[in-house]
Chain A
């Protein structure tokens, strides 16, 4: 029985450890405070969902008391919940993310570190609360495009997911990092 348990554990952890460490997320130990690799994105995010962008609304608002800045609320229709599922965050529900930048009338602001969204776009997002709103965790590092059929996550060379991966693989990795034994080890 014990051997069987060990075997299951090994077959569960080893493949994902190899994938995670070897293929996806080159990690810099120089990060001092917030590690924005894949593991920490999973850890720091309140919600991880896929969905389609169904609305974008831009407006002026104070930016943390230091000035008026254009913000945009990006609303997703949730397709899958990889982390944080609940009554309000589940399939077919909507989730709104606040980002910096947008266009109000003729006024436009561009935030180079904020993720960019388009209506109808299918995305995988990592979000957490920031000043009472949901923001992409790690700014643009917390948003990934999906292919049209939502089967593949588009990675980026300077993003935590550095290349295209099947969504199922990313989902398994999220679950891997959500195991209690994996938490807290990302730094």
Chain B
């Protein structure tokens, strides 16, 4: 190996070190510089093939071989999909080769059962015969790091996002592929090509402008179009209004869920309901309930934002109103009702005689609560449910009654104010006499309670020259103060 023609190998290490807060741009990478020498070395034809040995042993954390391959391919693809540079990694397939051997003509990525010390992973780059060119590379991911006497197993995380003590295969691989295409380390703290990993390597999945600058420095520009995140398909594209459907989104430049946000019809979908499975696949575990009709799906991440209009159609089952309890109330409004039925979801609108139920709340799929609005109408009216494109009517489902008019203090209902009213109320209170026809009228002081203070108030009015009583008085009218007392008129 060491006796061949001039061979220059570049070993590059992603080390697990604390990052400093100060940052520079990629070393020396300006248009005025010789990029080959300052930014790294390049593959002269702008592309390079690679093989994967998906051998991470802890499949419970790292995922199946197929999943590992997906993550590693995403890492390689990131350098094209997220950039405008004229470079491409070409996946050639799987291999059983592992380790570092830059004389076998095979560019491999493998996990090795070896101690990395301070290094999580290593890329070995063999320059080509032309100055500034590359001709071969290998990448290894180590099994352990830390002190020789007390090495720590590196828990390589595949599916989902790495937990404490784990490192992201995908993110770390993006960094190592960066070396594989020829980049040196960046001195920009946020860059994927910075020498160390933070946040378990997850943010390394998304290239920093400094990484992209270095890449274009080496390979030039293939397109003027900025990289975008894309949503290309959704499957299935239809589901019930009650939600719960598992949905797969296919697209490009998906990154990691905690750095992204998914919106269904403009509403953010909570993280627990979806995950990024690869750079081209998002799985929504359970679509949220939604009224019938088509909705948009929007994805935001560090690369950009994309909205797929009419991406998904909510359809069926038909929502129905079965009963409303109570089914009657005064037309002055204020009656609290429960609407019972089937297949209610958030966004449902209940109207009574075309007036929206106030303070509506979809309690569950079978119950909506609300407050009956005020109206001038008397008698039975329709109760209507509008839920997306669905509609349901309960004909005559609610009956408005006119609220009775009364005169304050007229406890016995004889339309006079005299001693008999006080005696009637006292008899009711202390002798078990019958109640008067209208509790509101008997509530002479309008405190919402029927007690001894009411006849006293009336007696004061009659015999102590009190000027007036609470409304309605002296003419009949409606009770201006809400209370729990009734009045049958």
A-side interface mostly:
loop
Which residues does chain A contribute within 8 Å of B24, judged by CB atoms? Answer: 157-158
Contact of A112 among B5, B13, B19 (CB under 8 A): B13
Is A107 within 8 A of B11, CB to CB?
no
From known contacts A66-B99, A66-B140, A112-B10, infer whether A139 and B118 are also in contact, taking CB-CB under 8 Å: yes
From known contacts A28-B19, A33-B145, infer whether A68 and B7 are also in contact, taking CB-CB under 8 Å: no
Q: Which of B175-220 contact A (CB under 8 A)?
A: 184-185, 187, 195-196, 198-200
Is A157 within 8 A of B20, CB to CB?
yes
Q: Within the assembled complex, what's the spacing in Å between the Cα atoms of A132 and B149?
A: 10
Which residues does chain A contribute within 8 Å of B164, judged by CB atoms? Answer: 32
Which residues does chain B contribute within 8 Å of A36, judged by CB atoms? Answer: 15-18, 118, 196
> Does B134 reach chain A (CB closer than 8 Å)?
no
Which residues does chain A contribute within 8 Å of B277, judged by CB atoms? Answer: none
Contact of A33 among B16, B22, B119 (CB under 8 A): B16
Q: Separation in Å of the A17 CB from the closest CB of chain B?
A: 19
Q: Which segment of B109-117, B284-292, B365-373, B480-488 sits at the interface?
A: B109-117
Interface size class of A (residues with CB under 8 A): 35 or more
Q: Within the assembled complex, what's the spacing in Å between the Cα atoms of A111 and B187?
A: 16
Q: Which of B121-165 contact A (CB under 8 A)?
A: 124, 138, 140, 145-148, 152, 164-165
> Does B12 reach chain A (CB closer than 8 Å)?
yes
Interface size class of B (residues with CB under 8 A): 35 or more
Q: Within the assembled complex, what's the spacing in Å between the Cα atoms of A135 and B116?
A: 12
Chain B minimum-CB-distance residue to A133: B148
Q: Which of A152-184 contact B (CB under 8 A)?
A: 157-160, 162
Q: Please give the residue numbers on chain A whose beta carbons come within 8 Å of chain B beta carbons, in ascending order.
A: 26-28, 30-37, 40, 44, 60, 63-70, 100-101, 104-114, 128-132, 135, 137-139, 141, 157-160, 162
Q: Please give the residue numbers on chain B whose beta carbons come within 8 Å of chain A beta carbons, in ascending order.
A: 1-13, 15-24, 98-101, 112, 114-119, 124, 138, 140, 145-148, 152, 164-165, 184-185, 187, 195-196, 198-200
The 12 sampled A-B contact pairs (Cβ below 8 Å) are A31-B19, A32-B200, A34-B146, A69-B11, A69-B100, A110-B11, A111-B12, A112-B12, A113-B11, A114-B13, A132-B148, A139-B119
